[in-house]
Amino acid sequence: MSPRLPEEYADFRKQQIVEAAWECFTEKGYRETTIRDIAKKMSASTGVVYNYFEGKDQILEAVQDCGRENTTKLLDTVAQKNTVKEAIAELFDVAFELMPVEDRQKNARGAVGLWAEALKRESYRKIYASQNEYTLGKITEIIKRGINNGEFQFDIDPEAFAGFCMALVTGLQVQSVLADGLNTPGYYKQIKKILSRNIWRDADRVSDR
């Protein structure tokens, strides 16, 4: 799943550059990727890239904008589910089941590489922290809706539970990149079992509220 540019970047060439850059970042890492690599990936000259972006840092910001836009669309979609239980299940399905394995692995490699970059560069860490805070906030809003509807069996800290869900996804992404032969489907099934039991009220009890 290549990153898609939001409307303000909806120029065909820019989209090509960002898609090519993402491919290079997942294959070689951000630091090892050059503008020449990006141009070669899209069968263009480096001049074409520089016509739209001043350098890699600006391209990286565009990739992050794509990620935020994609996250917004995903969370807006899952928020339409009838229950928060269904919304959370949809989030994990997208992360671990609905996306093709090759795309999951590619996205995980790219994400881990960019996290490493965030550890080295304060400016990028702030960009990542802002995106993470945004995602956490959107998931927290969804969970608060479930609390207000009485979907949980016991008291839930909405932000902590949102962070827990994000940590599960992040942890599996890291392991899938670093650990050979990781049984990601098996891990996911266990996560789904845990999240589908114990913490939720029966549907009829929720509807009676």
The domain locations on the chain are 1-55, 79-207
Alpha-carbon distance values, 64 to 18, 61, 68, 80 (Å) = 10, 5, 6, 25
State the CB neighbour count (10 A cutoff) for residue 76.
Answer: 10
Backbone phi and psi for residue 32, each to the nearest 5 degrees, phi listed first? -80, -15
- The tokens describing 190, both together, are 């266990």
130 pLDDT more than 90 = no
Give the CA count within 13 Å in the CB-facing half-sphere of 174. Answer: 9
| pLDDT value of position 132 | 87
Q: What is the pTM of this model?
A: 0.76
Between CA 70 and CA 125, with CA 166 as vertex, the angle to 5 degrees is 70
Whether 199 contacts 151, CB under 8 Å: no
> What is the arithmetic mean of pLDDT over 143-172?
90
- The tokens describing 77, both together, are 């979609």
12 pLDDT more than 90 = no
> What is the arithmetic mean of pLDDT over 124-134?
85
Higher-pLDDT residue of 180, 63: 63
Domain 1-55: assigned CATH number: 1.10.10.60
Question: What is the tens place of the pLDDT at every residue in 13-24?
Answer: 888 999 999 989
| pLDDT value of position 205 | 46
Whether 196 contacts 134, CB under 8 Å: no
- Give the separation between CA 70 and CA 91, rounded to whole angstroms: 13
Between CA 164 and CA 186, with CA 201 as vertex, the angle to 5 degrees is 45
Question: What is the tens place of the pLDDT at every residue in 35-55?
Answer: 999 999 999 999 999 999 999
Question: What is the tens place of the pLDDT at every residue in 61-103?
Answer: 898 888 788 888 888 888 889 899 899 888 888 777 655 556 6
CATH topology assigned to domain 79-207: Tetracycline Repressor; domain 2 (1.10.357)
> What is the arithmetic mean of pLDDT over 177-188?
73
> What is the arithmetic mean of pLDDT over 119-126?
83
- pLDDT band of residue 204 (cuts 50, 70, 90) is very low
Whether 140 contacts 133, CB under 8 Å: no
Q: Provide the sign of the torsion angle of the four alpha carbons 23, 29, 31, 36, taken in this order.
A: negative
> What is the arithmetic mean of pLDDT over 133-144?
92
- pLDDT band of residue 206 (cuts 50, 70, 90) is very low
